[in-house]
Amino acid sequence: MDILAIGSYINSIEENKTLYEERNFDKRAEAIDFIEFHIIDQLQNTNYPHELLLLKDKAEKIKAELEAIDLNLFKRLQEEIRVGKYTGKGFKAMINEYVDIDLNDTQHQQEAGYDNLDVFINGLITLQSIPEQTKELEPEMVYYQKTPARVVFEMAERIPFTQDGVFFDLGSGLGQVAILVYLLTGVTVKGVEFEPAFCNYASDCAVKLNLPQVEFINTDARYADYSQGTIFFMFTPFKGEIMQEVLVALQEESLKRKIKIITYGPCTAEVALQSWLNSVNLKDNNMYKLTVFTSC
C-alpha cells in the first residue's frame, strides 16, 4: 500500500462511526485486524519517511480506541454473566448480537480454523495473560491447542445435554470448552488437565465469571475419577498407550450407564477402533468434524 492508500484507509476508519458502536464487533474486529497486519506491522522500519510514521501513530491510536470499546463491552458482559443473566439460549442469543454464528461453516473444515467468534470468546472468558507450560509432556501427550469456539457451539446444539449429566473435557487446557459448554447448556462440567498452570488459569476464569458448576481437576486423565461422567469430549489430548488406558477407564464407566464420547481432530481414528462404541457421521472421513460415539 502507498502513502495515499494508507492515509485514505485510516481516514475511512476514523470517519466510519458505526465501527465505534458497541454492537458492531464483527466489523471492528476486521478493521483492527487490517490496521494491525496491513498497516502497523508493515511500518515497523523507523527509517520510513516522517509522513508514513505519522500515519502509523494515527493507526495505533485508532486501533487502541477500537480495542477500548471491546474491552468495555467484555467488562459489562462479564459482569452480567457473573450475576447469571446469560445461560443456555440466552447466552447464544447474546453472542449472536455481536458475532454472526453461522454453524454451517464447521461442516467442511479440514483443520481447526479460527474466526471472529474465537476473538469474541477469548475476550469474554479469558481474563489474564496466558500462562507458560511448567511440566514437560510425555511423548504421547499433545500440546495445547484450543478447539475453535464454533465447534463448541455446534456440539452444544447437536448433543442433547440433560441436566443430570456431567460433561468432561479430557485435556481441558485453558478451560474454554468446559466454560462454553456450561454457558451454552447449563450442564455441570469438569475439565481434566495435566498442566497445573493451565488448570489454575482455567479455574480462575471460572471463578471470576462466578461459575461454580465448572470445575477443573489437575491430574493425568488416566487417573481421573469419571464416576459422574456421561459425556466426554476430546480434542486429541493424547494418543497411543495413554489413549488406550483412558478408553479402558471410560469403558468401565460405560458398564454402569450409557456414555457418549465426542471427538474432534486426529484422535477420532483411534476412538473409532473401539468395538464397545457406536458412532455416527464417520463416513466422510473428516477428522475436523465432531464425531459422536455412544457406548453399546
Binding footprint of ligand SAM, residue count (CB under 6 A): 25
Nearer to ligand SAM, 10 or 155 (CB): 155
Nearer to ligand SAM, 223 or 276 (CB): 223
Binding status of residue 171 toward ligand SAM by CB under 6 A: yes
Residue 239 beta carbon to ligand SAM: minimum distance, rounded to whole angstroms: 9
Binding status of residue 120 toward ligand SAM by CB under 6 A: no
Window contacting ligand SAM (CB under 6 A); options: 119-127, 164-172, 181-189, 287-295: 164-172
Q: CB nearest ligand SAM: which residue?
A: 171
Q: Which of residues 224-283 bind ligand SAM (CB under 6 A)?
A: 235-238, 242
Binding status of residue 220 toward ligand SAM by CB under 6 A: yes
Binding status of residue 77 toward ligand SAM by CB under 6 A: no
291 φ/ψ angles, rounded to the nearest 5 degrees: -120, 135
The phi-psi region of residue 236 (left if phi > 0; otherwise alpha if psi is between -120 and 50; otherwise beta) is: left
Binding status of residue 169 toward ligand SAM by CB under 6 A: yes
Task: Out of 106, 116, 176, 268, point to the residue binding ligand SAM (CB under 6 A).
Answer: 176
Q: Extract the C-alpha cell encoding 76.
A: 459489562
DSSP string, 43-74: G--TTS-HHHHHHHHHHHHHHHHHHHHHHHHH
Binding status of residue 192 toward ligand SAM by CB under 6 A: yes
Task: Out of 96, 107, 145, 227, point to the residue binding ligand SAM (CB under 6 A).
Answer: 145
Helix (H) or strand (E) holding 278: strand 277-280
Binding status of residue 142 toward ligand SAM by CB under 6 A: yes
DSSP one-letter code for 129: P
Cα–Cα distance measured from residue 208 to residue 202, given in angstroms and rounded to the nearest whole number = 10
CB 250 within 8 A of CB 261: yes
Window contacting ligand SAM (CB under 6 A); options: 36-44, 61-69, 167-175, 182-190: 167-175
DSSP string, 94-111: HHHHHS---GGGGGG-SS
C-alpha distances (whole Å) from 262 to each of 145, 186, 191, 195, 272 are 17, 18, 14, 22, 11
CB 28 within 8 A of CB 70: yes
Q: 3-class DSSP state for residue 180? A: helix
Binding status of residue 183 toward ligand SAM by CB under 6 A: no
Which residues would be at the binding site for ligand SAM (CB under 6 A)? 141-142, 144-147, 169, 171-173, 176-177, 192-195, 198, 220-222, 235-238, 242
